[in-house]
Amino acid sequence: MLKGKTALVTGSTSGIGLGIALSLARQGASIVLNGFGDTEGPKAQVDALGVKVGYHGADMSKPEEIAEMMAYAASEFGGVDVLVNNAGIQHVANVEDFPVDKWDAIIAINLSSAFHTTRLAIPHMRVKNWGRVINIASAHGLVASAQKSAYVAAKHGIVGFTKAIALETATTGITVNAICPGRVLTPLVQKQIDANAARDGIALDAAKRELLAEKQPSLQFVTPEQLGELAVFLSSPAAENVRGAAWNMDGGWVAQ
Ligand code: NAD
């Protein structure tokens, strides 16, 4: 379905981003990966699916590096057709204790980076009159939790950003939507499980169960593969009139 298209997924060396990149690759899209840590493993996984794969290590907190990544995608892949804004970080603290540098980093990486990639991707999509922008928000884009002020602000922000750009492109072949995952067992969530287990003096399995029971009625983690298939649907012709949605896949979290 996506043969001849290029998908760029930010923060795709791990977790949800890698799951989405693999799902889009299975549909034939060429893939531009981004993110930190091991890059060879993720590249090999995409390569094994028989599509063209590239990588750019831009730091999503740095607008000039984001511009370099978009220029790389234009020169090596002819531009970005499916843009998945996924890179994100978390920090947990009461607002009076929240480190200022963590606030700035979360807003830059989880919110402002999507502005920079999108503003640079849309001109190419307008020329082709086809494009998909998929912003990975969170259940925290729709409801809040204590101790997550920066994350909740950034995720509510990206849901609003999604709606605004969906309206700007509403009469074109470009659609802009957000996906709002509940808890997914990735390194980002594993860190919270480790911290809770240490804080409460309980085993990791018990901390995992507690984390799910607190918010997610299904008592199951959402998986990167399930989120990848939702991104495939949003990229499909059937989703042409899904515009400005904030689509939760959260085991019932925000239904409560
Ligand atoms: P993860 O930690 O597994 O992956 C994050 C990815 O972002 C990695 O590839 C990392 O290298 C990259 N990254 C981090 N900082 C970066 C930077 N400055 N520049 C470029 N890349 C950077 O996390 P994840 O759980 O897969 O989260 C992915 C997205 O999904 C995030 O936006 C997160 O907020 C969102 N999300 C996660 C969950 C969950 O339960 N895991 C739930 C809802 C939403």
- 106, 89 contact by CB (below 8 A): yes
Mean pLDDT in residue range 112-116: 99
From ligand 1's centre to the CA of 168, what distance in Å?
Answer: 27
Structure tokens at 37: 């840590």
Q: Do 118 and 216 sit in the same domain of this protein?
A: no
Task: Kindly report the CATH number assigned to the domain that includes residue 157.
Answer: 3.40.50.720
pLDDT at 185: 95
Task: Provide the mean pLDDT of the chain.
Answer: 97
Q: Do 250 and 125 sit in the same domain of this protein?
A: yes
- State pLDDT tens for residues 43-62: 999 999 999 999 999 999 99
Q: Whose CA is nearest to atom 7 of ligand 1?
A: 11
Domain span at residue 211 reads 185-221
Q: Do 172 and 215 sit in the same domain of this protein?
A: no
| Within-domain flag for 1 | no
Mean pLDDT in residue range 120-141: 98
Q: Which of 201, 200, 217, 219 is nearest to 209 (CA)?
A: 219
Strands (E), the chain: 6-9, 30-34, 53-56, 82-85, 131-136, 174-181, 246-249
Q: Which residues are catalytic?
A: 151
Q: Whose CA is nearest to atom 3 of ligand 1?
A: 15
| Within-domain flag for 149 | yes
3-state secondary structure labels for all residues of 211-241: HHHHHCCCCCCECHHHHHHHHHHHHCHHHCC
Pocket flag, ligand 1, residue 79 (CB < 6 Å): no
Pocket flag, ligand 1, residue 113 (CB < 6 Å): no
Mean pLDDT in residue range 185-214: 94
Pocket flag, ligand 1, residue 70 (CB < 6 Å): no
Band of residue 234 on the pLDDT scale cut at 50, 70, 90: very high
- Whether the per-residue pLDDT at 24 is higher than 90: the answer is yes
Structure tokens at 36: 């930190």
| Rounded Cα distance, 33 and 42, in Å | 8
Pocket flag, ligand 1, residue 186 (CB < 6 Å): yes
From ligand 1's centre to the CA of 90, what distance in Å?
Answer: 8
Q: Do 18 and 137 sit in the same domain of this protein?
A: yes
Q: Do 56 and 105 sit in the same domain of this protein?
A: yes
pLDDT at 188: 84
Q: Do 68 and 176 sit in the same domain of this protein?
A: yes
Number of domains in the chain: 2
